[in-house]
Each structure stands twice: as C-alpha cells, then as structure tokens.
Structure 1
Amino acid sequence: MRFVLRLLMMFAVALAVGFGLSYYALTDGRYFGILQSGPWTAWPDAGSPAPNPYTRAHAVRAGTLPLGQAEGLQFTATTDSTGEPLIRSCGYRLDGHTPVATFWTLVAIDAGGRNVARPGTALAMRSRDIARPEDGAIRVHVGTRLMPGNWLELTGRGPFSLVLTLYDTVASSGFGADVDAMPAIVREGCR
C-alpha cells in the first residue's frame, strides 16, 4: 500500500512540474525564443515557416494569426519600463525611437484581446498620423485622461497591454536592426 501511495505521489509531482514548466514556457517564454527589449516582448519565429515548438504552442494558446517574417513583427508590453503593470487608472508616455519599419501601429487591448480605445476615437495610433519632435523620436500619451500631443484615449478600468506592430521591418533579421531602440513606457500619474 505504501508503495502505491509513493508511486501516485511521484506521478502527481511529475505532472505538476511538467505542466507548470510548460505553462511558464508558454506565458513567459524568456528562455524559449522571445525577443525582449525593456518591457516589450516579441516572438520573432511566430511567422516563420517552421517555428520552434514553444513559439508554435504560444501562438496556438493565444489564438493569434502571426505576421509572416517578411511582413512584420509584433511587440507586446504588459508593464511599464520600471516593471509595474499597465493599468487604465494611470497615464503613460511612450518616449523614444522604434526599429526601422515602413509603418507601425500602436493598440491598447485588455486581457481578452479587445481594443480598449474610447469608442468614437482612433482605435490605433499610426506612425503616419503622429507629430514628432525634431529628433524623429515618438512621444505618445496613453490613458483615460486628456493629455497634450499624440494621445491614445482609453476607456474602462483594469489592466491592459500595449501592442506595437512594426510592418516591413528588419528588427528580427539582424541586418542593421537595433531592437534595443524601443520606446520607453513612462508612468505619468494615477488617479
């Protein structure tokens, strides 16, 4: 009887460790093929013809249709540059440069993948629609309260993610790519 209990306990521990590590690999992915720059993460193999098993499993779990490698790369941020989670009761400023891309979009989504931009406003911030400072950097404000300059107005409460999609980019190719040139996400204040 004691042998059977120990055997069952070993199976339970093995299953818990196996499923726990698999869950970690699919949600965090830090050691399994992600590209990270500050708070921004991307799965560069997602659009390749033969992605690694972790990338494939992440895409299936998230239910996304990734861009092909020649089409672009999608970066997601769930925290600001200090590591604090993004919440809609706070205002944020994206400051800095993006890797070279023909075009980019910035969208705010909730945990269910729904766009949280205020109805009646632009659902996404586009690279061609923003005013830039003289140095060519981007400065975009994100939040529920009115802010000066480029502003992505949000609605509701709770956490959100920012998705920056770079189209026709060399960010993951290694040819002249500067992936460290991602905009910082600075918290400006909370209500």
Structure 2
Amino acid sequence: MRFILRLLTAICIALAVGFGLSYYALTDGRLFGAVSLGPWTAWPDVGSPSPNPYTRGHITREAALQLGQSEGLEFLATTDSDGAPLDLACSYMVAGHVPVSTFWTLSAVDSEWVNLAAAGTDATLRSSEIVRQPDGDMQLHVGTRLRPGNWLELTGNGTFQLVLTLYDTRALSSISSSDTTMPSITLEDCQ
C-alpha cells in the first residue's frame, strides 16, 4: 500500500511539473527561447527559417508579422531597469547606447499592441531624428508629461511596453552576446 501511495505521489508531481513547464513555455517561455538584457527581451530565432520549438510557440501566440533574421531584431521591455512595471502615470528616461544597427525605432504599445503615442505626434522615435549627447549616448524621455530634449509623448493610463526595433543589426547574432549592451530604463517621476 505504501508503495502505491508513493508511486501515485511521484506521478502527480511529475505531471504537475511537466504540465506546468509546458504551460509556461507556451504562454511566456522567456527562459527557453528568449534572451534578456536588463529590462529588454528579444527572441533572436524569430526570423530564422527553422526556429526552435519555443520560438515557434511564441510566434504562433503573438500572431504578428515578424522581421526576418537578416532584417532586424525586436526588443521588448515591460519593466524599468529596477524591475517595476512600466506605468503611464510615470515618466521614464531611456538612456545609453543601442547595439550597432543601421536604423532603430522606439515605440510604446499597450497589451493589445495598440500604439500609445499622443494624437498629432510621431508614433515612434527614430534613430535618425534624435539629438545625442556629446559622448554618443542617447537620452530619451518617455511619458505623458512634457520633457525637454528627445521625448516620446504618450497618452492613456495603465501599464505599457516599450518596443525597440533594430534594423540591419548583428546584435545577438554571435554565440556569445555578452558584449551586447542595451539602454537603461529609469523612472523619473510619477503623477
């Protein structure tokens, strides 16, 4: 009797762990197919001809038009550099260097991927239109309240995501991506 009870317990634990990891891999899966650099997450295999199964699940779940591997790479941030969720009631500074690319864009979207740029403003910040610091760093303000310098004006309330798309880049293309650095996202203030 004791053997049967232990066997049933082991089977239940194995099923819970198996189904739990499968559910995680299909709903989020960042541990399996994604690369995280600070608050930024990318799926480097998303545009390859034969992505890994976890990336395939991500592509299917998102059902979005993806860039080809030679076209570019999309990074997504849902939190600031301290791990707090991005909130439209707050203002943020995106600062630092972007990995080498021919061109990049930064936009803000909600959970349904609706662009949150204020009406009458640009939907995205473009690398060709920003003013850089003397050392080449960028400082971009993101939020609903006016800021000096490079500013992505947003509208709405609730949480949001930042999408940094690098076009014609070699970021994360090598076996070791430890030299790839991403800009930080710092909370400035909240209303």
Alignment TM-score > 0.5, same fold:
yes
What are structure 1's unaligned runs of at least 5 residues? 1-8
- Find the counterpart in structure 2 of residue 80 from structure 1: 80
- For the aligned residues, what is the CA RMSD? 2.4
Describe the superposition over 1:70-126 as per-residue Cα deviations: whole angstroms up to 9, x where unpaired: 000000000000000000000000010010000000010000110011011000000
Looking at structure 2, the residues matched to 175 and 19 of structure 1 have their Cα atoms a distance apart, in angstroms, of 31
Partner SS, residue 23 of structure 2: helix
Contact kept, 8 Å, 2:40 with 2:75, in 1: the verdict is yes
- Find the counterpart in structure 2 of residue 92 from structure 1: 92
Looking at structure 1, the residues matched to 114 and 19 of structure 2 have their Cα atoms a distance apart, in angstroms, of 28
Matched, 1:34 2:39: no
Contact kept, 8 Å, 1:170 with 1:177, in 2: the verdict is no
- Find the counterpart in structure 1 of residue 6 from structure 2: none
What letter is aligned with 1:161? Q
More displaced 10-residue stretch of structure 1: 16-25 or 143-152 = 16-25
Looking at structure 1, the residues matched to 88 and 50 of structure 2 have their Cα atoms a distance apart, in angstroms, of 37
What are structure 2's unaligned runs of at least 5 residues? 1-8
What letter is aligned with 2:76? T
- Find the counterpart in structure 2 of residue 143 from structure 1: 143
TM-score normalised to the size of structure 1? 0.88
- Find the counterpart in structure 1 of residue 116 from structure 2: 116
Cα shift at 1:175: 8.6
Partner SS, residue 24 of structure 1: helix
Distance 1:10 1:160, change over 3 A: same
Contact kept, 8 Å, 1:37 with 1:179, in 2: the verdict is no
Q: Give % identity.
A: 60
Distance 1:179 1:39, change over 3 A: farther
Looking at structure 1, the residues matched to 16 and 121 of structure 2 have their Cα atoms a distance apart, in angstroms, of 46
Partner SS, residue 156 of structure 2: coil
- What is the 5 A alignment of 1:7-18? 17-18=17-18
Cα shift at 1:27: 4.1
- Find the counterpart in structure 1 of residue 172 from structure 2: 172
Looking at structure 1, the residues matched to 161 and 22 of structure 2 have their Cα atoms a distance apart, in angstroms, of 23
